[in-house]
Structure formats: structure tokens, C-alpha cells
Amino acid sequence: MSLSDLYLSTASLICFDGEPDLNPNPDANPNPDAKPNPDPKPNPDPSPSGRTFTQDDLNKFLAEDRRKTEAKYKAELSKAEKNYQALLENKNLSDGERTKLEESLEDVRKQLRTKEQQLAHEKKTLEEQYNSRLKETEQKAGYWENLFRETEISRSLYDAAVAEDAFQPNQVVTLIRSNTKLVEDDTQKGKYKVVVDFLDIDPATNEEVMTQRTPKEAVKRMKELPEMYGNLFKSGVVSGIGGSSGNPGTGPNGQIDVRKLTPEQYMKLRKEAPEKLGLRGK
């Protein structure tokens, strides 16, 4: 070999790695007399700490992790609830903004409640809505009932006063309205009638007696008592004397002319000096 051949030859690397393999056939049994292990036991301690975990341990771990997660979630929701409540206290909120905040707050509260609490809340909400609507309906019914009652009474009294030629029918209505009421008609089921508790004079004893009459009967009876109500009706006023005069005068026999008295003046004289009206004192 020449010197040039040495320079041009390929380099070879010689190395040594570990012990030589004394058993080149891995499937061959190096000890033919040794008995093989028929049932090799697995490692009984696979965990690095030397402890095994049962299913109960795993369930407890998962339950504890879930409890911590739920507690953290509820704490965040509770904080959000307080923030919404603080925002609702702002008086500068518009109606639309306030409504949206209230809806969001209710959604947060729903998430904080358990199923049982949510069902109880929904039941309470429905009961409150029902009671509110029931109260509103009763108020409306009461309003229309009172309106019907008042209209029916006033119209009946006014018509009766007009029929008996009252100077001012409204005066007659005002005079006996407090003693007038609307009651159920015993003769007609579902019907109502207007009655007047009328303080009358018993012609036999000249004593006051309480009677119950229809508006027509009551106004007609008022007209028949000129010493008490004569100045209210056209036929109870003597020609040349104003029926609306408030100054009491005297008649030919020296007694006060009741036709010139107002109902208030008449009642006062009747109580304090009935003899001036030609009545027998008690």
C-alpha cells in the first residue's frame, strides 16, 4: 500500500459498549434444570407512595372537589347579587334599565336556589300574583257596584221629586239621600229596589214614627206635610210668597208660616218651640 492510498482510505470507528452478550439466543433457557414460574405476581404497590385507592376514596375525593367548586360558584353568584342590588338603588336608572337589572338579579337568584327552594319561590310568586289580581278585580267590582248603587238611588229620588213639582229636585234628593238605600227585592230574585227610611208623623198621636217607603211614596208624603216641607214644592206656596224665602213669618193666627221656613229652620223650631208651629209639645 502506498502512502497515497493511506490518505485516501475510508476512516473506521472502533468502540466498546457494555458487557458482551453471553447468551446470543434470548429464547434459549440458560438453566434447563430450573422450573419456570407459572403465575408471576404483579407489583402489589403501583403507587409511588406505597398506598392503594379504593372506589370509596375516589368518590370522597370527587365529592369534596365538587363541594369546593359549588361553594366557589355560589360565592361568585352571591357577590353578583349584591352588585345588582347596589345598582338598583341608583335613583337615576330609567324604567328600562331597572327592568333589565331586576331580570338579571332574578336569574342570579334562581341559580343560587336549590330545586326545592325554586319550586317554593315559584309557588309563592304565583300565589302573590293571584291574590293581587283577585284584589284588583274585587276593587273594580266594588267601584262599579257603588257607582250603580249611587246612580240608581239618585235617579229614583230625582224622578220622584220632579213628578211632585219640586222647586229644586236636587234639594229633595239631598234632604233624604242619607236615609235612602238599595236593597234586594224580595218579590223578584236578582232584582233590587230603592227604599227610603222616612220619618213620618202619626196623624192619630201626632208623634214621630219611622216608616219605609219607595222614593215616590216618600216624596209624595213630604208634599202632604206642608208644615214641614211645604216650601219645597210649588203647590205648597201661597201666591205672592216666595217659596225660597229664608225669613220666617207669621200667619193670620199668630203662628209661624211654615211655608216660609227652610227645612233647617223648621226642624229647629220643632225641637225648641213646637207650639209656634201649632204642634203639641212633649
Q: β-pairing, 256-257 with 208-213?
A: unpaired
pTM score > 0.75 for this model? Answer: no
CA distance 254 to 256: 7
pLDDT score of 20 = 54
pLDDT in tens, 29-86: 555 565 555 555 555 555 555 567 788 877 887 888 778 877 776 777 777 777 777 7
Q: Residue 219 pLDDT more than 90?
A: yes
Q: Which helix (H) or strand (E) holds 209?
A: strand 208-213
CA atoms within 13 A on the CB side of 218: 26
The reported pLDDT for the residue numbered 247 is 40
User: What residues have CB less than 8 Å from 244, skipping those under 6 apart?
Assistant: 167, 231
* Residue 169, CA atoms < 13 Å, CB-side half-sphere: 14
- Torsion, Cα 229 235 241 246, to 10 degrees, reads 20
Can you tell me the mean pLDDT for 188-202?
A: 89
Instruction: Look at 277 and 153; give whichever has higher pLDDT.
Output: 153
Contact, 221 vs 228, CB < 8 A?
A: no
**Secondary structure (3-state) at 233:** strand
Which element (helix H / strand E) includes 117? helix 115-163
Contact 228, 263 (CB under 8 A): yes
The CB density around residue 265, as the number of other CB atoms within 10 Å, is 16
Give residue-wise pLDDT tens across range 102-136.
888 888 777 777 777 777 888 888 999 999 999 99
Residue 89's alpha-carbon distances to 11, 104, 217, in angstroms, are 90, 15, 64
Closest CA to 157 of 230, 219, 199: 219
State the pLDDT at residue 120.
81
Tell me the per-residue pLDDT of 164-186, one tens digit each, with 9 for 90 and over. 999 889 999 999 999 999 999 88
Rounded Cα distance between 253 and 260, Å, is: 15
Report the pLDDT averaged over residues 214-223.
Answer: 92
Separation CA 175–CA 245 (nearest Å): 17
Backbone φ and ψ for 208, nearest 5 degrees, come out as -75, 140
Is the predicted pLDDT of residue 231 greater than 80, yes or no? Answer: yes
Q: Is the pLDDT of residue 216 over 80?
A: yes
DSSP for 79-100, please give it.
Answer: HHHHHHHHHHT-TT--HHHHHH
Of 72-81, 149-158, 179-188, 236-245, the poorest mean pLDDT is in 236-245
Confidence at residue 29, expressed as pLDDT on a 0 to 100 scale? 55
Q: Which residues are within 8 A (CB) of 223 and not within 5 positions of it... i.e. 6 or more apart?
A: 164, 229, 232, 233, 235, 236
